[in-house]
Amino acid sequence: MSFVSRPRFDWRLLSRTLPLGERTLVIGILNLTPDSFSDGGRFSSVDAAVERGLGMLDEGADLLDLGGESTRPGAVEVGAGEEQERVLPVLEGILRERPEAILSVDTYHAATAERVVEAGAEIVNDVSGLMWDAGMGNVCGRLGCGMILMHTRGRPADWARLPALRTEEIVPMVRRELVERVEAGLRAGIAREAIVLDPGFGFGKRGDENYPLLAGLGELRGLGPLLAGVSRKGFLGQSIADLHGGKVPAANARLQVTTAANTAAILAGAHIVRVHDVMAAREAAAVADAVLRGAPG
C-alpha cells in the first residue's frame, strides 16, 4: 500500500507562524457549553475549564479550540454576548497560566471573533465558513488572525430535512464549496496563508455520507492545509452499533473508532486533527506520520 505525501505549508496566525505537514498537529477541544454532544456541561465553571485546558496542553496538544456555543443538531443558538461570557474568562485564564499557548475560538459571530482576538486568541474557527455572519470576513481580515473555514450544508436545524447525498457527489460538492469559501475570505482581506480548511464531517452530511468524504480527503489536498474533525462523531458510533447489540455507543465511548478515523484522515492528507482525547490522537498521529515518512516519494 502506498500513500501520497502531504504538502507543507506555513500557517500564518495573529502573532506567529506554524509549519504544517512535517508532523500532524493536534487541536484539543474545550467545550464551554451546557449542551455539546460529547462533554457539554463538564467544564461549565471557569476554573474547571481552565484546568481542563491546561491538562490538554500538558498532554501535548499543539493548540486549544474553545467553543461557547454548541452546533450539534437540535442545539439552541445563543447570542454573541452569552458566548463571550463563556469563552473570554477561560481564554484569559489559560493565557495567564500559559502565555505561550496557541488558542483558537470556535465561533461564527463577528463580534465574538473581534473580542477574543483582542484578548489573545490566535485563530478563529468559523464552522459556517463566513456564511452566517456577514461581518466575519472583514473583521478577521482586518485583525490578521489565523482562520479555519469549515464546510457545512445549512444550519444544524436544517440537517434533518436535507436531501440525501449520492456517494459520487459528496467530495466534488465539498471541494467546490470550499473553494467558494476561500474566495470569500480573500475578498474580505484574509490572507491565503492564514486559512486552513475543514471539510465539516457531520455538518450536513448524515451517517455513511461521511465515509466517501473521509476516503476522498486526498482529493482536497490541492486546496491548501486541511483539518479533520472526526472526534467522537455520531457517524463513527453508528458504524459499530452492530458490534454492541444494535446500540450506538455514547460519545465518550468512541475512542477506538475516533483513533481509526484520525489515522485514516492523516494518511489521506490531514495536517491537523481536532480531538477530545489528546494523547490517543498524538499516538495515532505518531504512527501515521511515520507511515507517511516511509512512503515512496
Q: What is the pLDDT of residue 92?
A: 98
User: What string of H, E and C letters represents the secondary structure of the chain?
Assistant: CCCCCCCCEEEECCCCEEEECCCCEEEEEEECCCCCCCCCCCCCCHHHHHHHHHHHHHHCCCEEEEECCCCCCCCCCCCHHHHHHHHHHHHHHHHHHCCCCCEEEECCCHHHHHHHHHCCCCEEEECCCCCCCCCHHHHHHHHCCEEEEECCCCCHHHHHHCCCCCHHHHHHHHHHHHHHHHHHHHHCCCCHHHEEEECCCCCCCCHHHHHHHHHCHHHHHHHCCEEECCCCCHHHHHHCHHHHCCCCCCHHHCHHHHHHHHHHHHHCCCCEEEECCHHHHHHHHHHHHHHHHHCCC
Query: CB under 8 Å to 132, separation ≥6 — which residues?
Result: 108, 126, 155
Q: Is residue 173 part of a domain?
A: yes
User: Could you say which of 181, 205, 232, 233 is catalytic?
Assistant: 233
Residue 214, domain extent: 9-294
User: How far apart are alpha carbons 173 and 78 in whole angstroms?
Assistant: 29
Q: What is the pLDDT of residue 5?
A: 77
- Any catalytic annotation for residue 274? yes
- Nearest Cα residue to 146 out of 260, 80, 206, 227: 227
Q: What is the pLDDT of residue 229?
A: 98
Q: Is residue 249 part of a domain?
A: yes
How many degrees, rounded to 5, is the angle at CA 75 between CA 70 and CA 77?
75
- Any catalytic annotation for residue 233? yes
Q: Is residue 3 part of a domain?
A: no
Task: Give the CATH number, domain containing residue 32.
Answer: 3.20.20.20
User: How far apart are alpha carbons 98 and 140 in whole angstroms?
Assistant: 24
Q: The cell 466575519 sits on which residue?
A: 136
Q: What is the pLDDT of residue 74?
A: 63
Burial class of residue 202 (count of CB atoms within 10 Å of its CB; 0-12, 13-18, 19+): buried
* 35's grid cell: 449542551
Q: Is residue 126 part of a domain?
A: yes
Q: Which amino acid is at 212?
A: P
Q: Is residue 240 part of a domain?
A: yes
Written as tens digits, the pLDDT of the chain (297 aa) is 567 678 999 999 999 999 999 999 999 999 998 755 455 556 668 999 999 999 999 999 999 999 999 776 665 678 899 999 999 999 999 999 999 999 999 999 999 999 999 999 999 999 999 999 999 999 999 999 999 999 999 999 899 899 999 999 999 999 999 999 999 999 999 999 999 999 999 999 999 999 999 999 999 999 999 999 999 999 999 999 999 999 999 999 999 999 999 999 999 999 999 999 999 999 999 999 999 998 776
Q: Is residue 258 part of a domain?
A: yes
β-strand pairing of 9-12 with 63-67: unpaired
User: Could you say which of 6, 12, 274, 282 is catalytic?
Assistant: 274
Task: Tell me the backbone φ, ψ of residue 180, rounded to 5 degrees.
Answer: -65, -35
Burial class of residue 221 (count of CB atoms within 10 Å of its CB; 0-12, 13-18, 19+): middle
Q: What is the pLDDT of residue 283?
A: 98
Query: Is 49 within 8 Å of 43 (Cβ atoms)?
Result: yes
Q: What is the pLDDT of residue 90?
A: 97
Q: What is the pLDDT of residue 19?
A: 98
Q: Is residue 216 part of a domain?
A: yes
User: How far apart are alpha carbons 220 and 242 in whole angstroms?
Assistant: 31
The total number of structural domains in the chain stands at 1
Q: What is the pLDDT of residue 2?
A: 61
Q: Is residue 2 part of a domain?
A: no
CA atoms within 13 A on the CB side of 86: 25
